[in-house]
Structure 1
Amino acid sequence: MRSLLEELYHGDLRPIEKRILRDATYIQMNQKIAEALETWRKQHTDEEFSQLEALLDLYAQTHTMELTSTFTYGFRLGAGIMTEVLTGKDELARKLGTCPENLA
């Protein structure tokens, strides 16, 4: 088994692919979404359903951006905490734990 650094180097470390898929609540919610979409598709025209799909695609894109930002912030925050623990210097840790959007 390769180390995390080796997996990162080889491009095999992709947290988005390790998301919670076995959680019963997650599975139930996805089933409800699929059923609601199927009901919606049956009750509307193809054009209306295509419009809904386009809207859902836009939502998925923004949701992915939010997940990326949240992951990045969490990673930086963790690095900041480790920096503070190992060095005892608060200023660097606070900068590492800040989202780039907030660094201005």
Structure 2
Amino acid sequence: MKIILEDLYYGRLHPNELIKSNDPKFQRIDQEVNDSMNILRENLSEDDFEQIEKLFDLLSESNSLHSAAAFIHGFRTGASMMIEIFSDEKSGIMK
């Protein structure tokens, strides 16, 4: 059994690297992006294509930062829900 706290402590916990969408829509869009990039590579100058790649790198970094913020927000929301559940005197749960 994995020990999540130990993985977190040693820096082995990387949830963003474990996510792979099985949604056929994602796979179709990913293929369309690859096809478009190949067309651009063939039709643009090397400098222009490098600019496109830099733009994609910036978009990827931006998406990564947004995903991290969404993950943190979701985790905090879940933890807040657990605190509320376990501190609710009306629920009959012993503290």
Same fold per TM (> 0.5)? yes
Tell which structure's C-alpha radius of gyration is larger: 2
Q: Which residue of 1 aligns with 2:33?
A: 33
Moved more, 4-13 or 32-41: 4-13
* Cα deviation digits, residues 8-57 of structure 1 (max 9, x gap): 22322211011124433322221111111000111111111011111111
- Of structures 1 and 2, the one with the larger relative CO (CA 8 A, separation 6+) is 1
Supply the distance in 2 between the matched residues of 1:81 and 1:40 (Cα, whole angstroms). 48
Percent identity between matched residues is: 29
Secondary structure of 2:11 counterpart? coil
Q: What TM-score do you get using the length of structure 1 for normalisation?
A: 0.76
In structure 1, stretches of 5+ residues that fail to align are 90-104
Supply the distance in 1 between the matched residues of 2:7 and 2:24 (Cα, whole angstroms). 29
Q: What TM-score do you get using the length of structure 2 for normalisation?
A: 0.82
In structure 2, stretches of 5+ residues that fail to align are 90-95
